[in-house]
Every structure is written in structure tokens, then in C-alpha cells.
Amino acid sequence: LLVHTSFGDASTRVSNTPPSTFLNSAGTFSTISSHHDDTVADLTSDICTDAASLASDFQKALVVVNQQRGDIHVGHLISACEGLEATMRRIGFVQGASDIAANLSKIRTVYNQVSPDKRDSMPELLQYEMGLGIHSASKKSSRSKAAIKDTSATMGLLWLGRSLNYQYDMFQQLLLDGNVQPYEAACCAYERNMKPHLSWPLQKVCQVALKKLKVLRREHMLAGIGGFSEECYGACEDQATRHDLRRVIRCLEPMLGRWQQVFSEMGLGDI
């Protein structure tokens, strides 16, 4: 339920801590355990969730493209984010889903214009737009970052990356602290990942949007992420959904790291 574009730097998660480590609401470190995931998977293997489909889609997005290992496949990324958009819309994050859709539209417009051998590598797609000369050198910063054209695929990828950083952060908090409600997780993720990139007027708009999340309960949100109605969401469905949401997080983590690396190396800003 968040306004235009989204959120921040992967380095703002928890520095100098192992992957999938996070601060819980008590102020101590928590870690998502893959061993625990394996145990839960054995107990819930017959339960299919929408989160499992999301995890599979995002896993396809970080592959070998044009012989570059660990490259982000833009076509698979678009498909995965279309699924995420539908999920967020279903659970009530309508504004956030609309922002994802708007950024995907920018990416898709350029993607469909580029030859198939160039468009699926994120760095090559970004380089294609830079070669068109549609961006200009920034006059507001001493750092050599481009002033990115608003309607470009580059702008869409910049804000889509921030959006995924936000989702990553929020999902982490919901999984690591069973007492955290969506509003609390969203506010914390906003402070870390979105606020640093927004002007004061947009920060105020975001704060208004965030307040609408106060009525959303974690059970409703998790049931929606899993693809279940609340009436059919029991203990087994909850375990299966949380297990598969952990898979989504583990797929997002290396992809967001690579995303940030690409944008930094090309002087295009921080996701």
C-alpha cells in the first residue's frame, strides 16, 4: 500500500551479519534457518502455495545470460514481478502493486524494442538505453551519476529494485518475529529502504498510505501470500506458506545484491 516507486539499498539490511540474518522487534539478531525449512518441507510437502510459485519464478531470474554467470534475466524478472504484483494486490497493497505495474510497464516498453540477444541481460539493456543518449549528467551532485529519464526502462528497473528491497525487508520481519503485524513491518521497511530516496512531500504521502495498513492482520497477509482464504488457513497452510516465503527471500537476496552491483558500476544510483 505504498506510493510511487519503492525502496532502498541492500546494504541497509544488517551489515556484517550472515545472509538471512535480521534484527527482530526485541532488538536482537535472528536468523532464518535452512535446516528448519527442510524439516517443515517434509511436513508440508503436499501443500501447494502461491509463494512456492513466486520463489520458482524469482529463481529463474538470476541465471547465466550471454555467458555472464549471475546475470539478471530481464524477461524472467518481468514474469516474476507480475506474479508479485498480483499477490500484493490480492492482500490489499493496492498502491504498492500499482507502483510495481507502472515500473514494469516502463521496462516492458523498451524490452520489446530490443533484439532478443540483447534484452534479457540487465546490464546490456541498461547499456542500450545509455547508448541512445536519453540520460543526462546530473547537475545536482558532485558524484558522476546520470540524471535518468523518467519514462526509461532504467528508471523502471531502479525503482523496481527498490520495491523488491522493501518487500524483502518486510517479508523478513514477518517471518522472524511472530508478533510483528504488517503495519509494523511495513513502517520499519519504509524507514530503511524507501524514505532515504524520497522528497519530503512524497514522504508525507507514504506516511498516509502506511497508516491504511493498520487494519491488516498478519494472518490475512500470510494467507493471501500463500493463496488461501482465511477460512482455509490452518496450521499446516501457515507452515507451508512461511516455508515457501523463506524460499522467496533466499532467491531475492543474491539477485538484489547483483542488481545493486550493476547499478553502482554503471553510475546509475542505489537501489
Question: What is d(CA 74, CA 123) in angstroms, rounded to the nearest whole number?
Answer: 10
Predicted pLDDT at 37:
54
Element of type H or E holding 146:
strand 146-147
Q: What is each CA distance from 239 to 35, 36, 51, in whole angstroms?
A: 14, 11, 12
The low-confidence residues of the chain, meaning pLDDT below 70, are 1-45, 137-146
Question: pLDDT tens digits for 130-189?
Answer: 999 888 755 444 444 568 999 999 999 999 999 999 999 999 999 999 999 999 999 999
Residue 4 phi/psi, 5-degree rounding, is -10, 130
Residue of 59, 63, 64, 95 whose CA lies nearest to 80: 59
Block residue for cell numbers 555472464:
68
Question: What is d(CA 244, CA 248) in angstroms, rounded to the nearest whole number?
Answer: 7
